[in-house]
């Protein structure tokens, strides 16, 4: 008899390693894992990372800790000056309405001190700032829209959408309030435009640019305001002061608590303008009533 080597005991079958599937798409097999949470992810869920790939949730979580880019004065970065284009469109559409029915539009929406004071039509303080001298006086809207197109985008990029919109609207309101107090009636975006002039000067100074060009621009337009008849100097001066003050608050607000300081300044300017209309009488209207013949 020949001896036989002992037969080793049979080994149990080893189970094959389970193929992982994407945690977001369970039907898709994948061997790629997120570098942060190590969950399996399929090609549709892979997001490029510094090393390897990450899942969408980890990418979103990481973005929360990334500081968002801001403008010089704290606003969100402006890719396109959308507020400027919207304001241009609203002014042009209002002028189209005037072309269709000038008397009705002007009489219902112009800044009229008497109707604001004695009929409570406060809305005219804003609507009048989007109207312009009716045809054939095309120069009025052409100048204002050219100025908005020329300097609006630059200021919007410096301030951000929200701050620029606040600057424009409060300057427009400041001009209308000055008309209410010291004038009789007016239309036009000139108060807002002069507010942008004032803001451009303040921003130039704050950034260390030579502001003499802006001063010449403001000086020339102020001269035209008082030389050319039928121009509302009240609206121009009111808008210029309002825009300059608000721009100074935006530009010189301390970096710490800057948003709070800027918001507080805007609300304070709004409150002062509303209070002026609520408390003070329309001086020019009272003078007209007291001396209707002008003698």
Q: Which residues pair with 54 in a beta bridge?
A: 47
DSSP 3-state assignment of 25? Answer: coil
Cβ(151)–Cβ(196) below 8 Å? yes
Instruction: Give me the count of residues in the chain.
Output: 295
CATH code of domain 82-290: 1.20.1540.10
Half-sphere exposure of 209 (CA within 13 A, CB side): 11
CA neighbor of 214 nearest in space, from 234, 199, 233: 199
**Residues belonging to the active site:** 190, 236
Q: What is the chain's pLDDT, residue by residue, as a tens digit (295 residues)?
A: 455 555 555 555 545 557 889 999 988 988 888 988 889 999 889 888 877 889 988 888 877 665 567 788 888 889 899 999 999 999 999 999 999 998 999 999 999 999 999 999 999 999 999 999 987 788 999 999 999 999 999 999 999 999 999 999 999 999 999 999 999 999 999 999 999 999 999 999 999 999 898 999 899 988 988 988 888 999 999 999 999 999 999 999 998 999 999 999 999 999 999 999 999 999 999 998 888 765 5
- The segment(s) of the chain belonging to CATH 1.20.1540.10 are 82-290
Burial 121-131 (b: 16+ CB within 10 A, else e): beebbebbbbb
d(CA 142, CA 137): 9
């Amino acid at each position: 008899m020949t001896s036989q080597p002992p037969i080793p005991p049979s080994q149990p079958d080893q189970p094959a390693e389970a193929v992982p599937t994407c945690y977001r798409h369970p039907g898709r097999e994948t061997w790629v894992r997120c570098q942060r949470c190590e969950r399996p992810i399929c090609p549709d869920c892979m997001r490029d990372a510094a090393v390897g790939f990450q899942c969408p949730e980890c990418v979103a979580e990481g973005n929360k800790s990334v500081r968002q880019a801001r403008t010089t004065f704290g606003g969100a970065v402006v890719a396109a000056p959308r507020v400027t284009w919207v304001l241009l469109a609203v002014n042009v559409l209002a002028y189209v309405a005037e072309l269709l029915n000038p008397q009705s539009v002007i009489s219902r929406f112009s800044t009229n001190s008497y109707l604001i004071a004695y009929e409570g039509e406060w809305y005219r303080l804003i609507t009048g700032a989007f109207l312009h001298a009716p045809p054939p006086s095309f120069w009025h809207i052409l100048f204002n829209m050219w100025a908005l197109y020329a300097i609006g985008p630059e200021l919007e990029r410096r301030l951000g959408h929200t701050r620029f919109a606040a600057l424009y609207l409060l300057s427009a309101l400041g001009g209308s309030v000055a008309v209410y107090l010291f004038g009789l009636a007016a239309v036009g975006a000139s108060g807002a435009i002069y507010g942008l002039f004032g803001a451009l000067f303040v921003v130039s100074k704050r950034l260390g640019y030579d502001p003499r060009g802006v001063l010449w621009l403001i000086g020339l337009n102020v001269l035209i305001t008082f030389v050319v008849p039928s121009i509302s100097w009240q609206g121009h001066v009111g808008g210029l002061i309002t825009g300059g003050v608000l721009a100074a608050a935006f530009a010189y607000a301390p970096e710490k608590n800057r948003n709070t300081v800027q918001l507080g300044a805007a609300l304070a300017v709004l409150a002062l303008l509303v209070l002026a209309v609520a408390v003070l009488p329309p001086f020019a209207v009272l003078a007209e009533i007291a001396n209707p013949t002008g003698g």
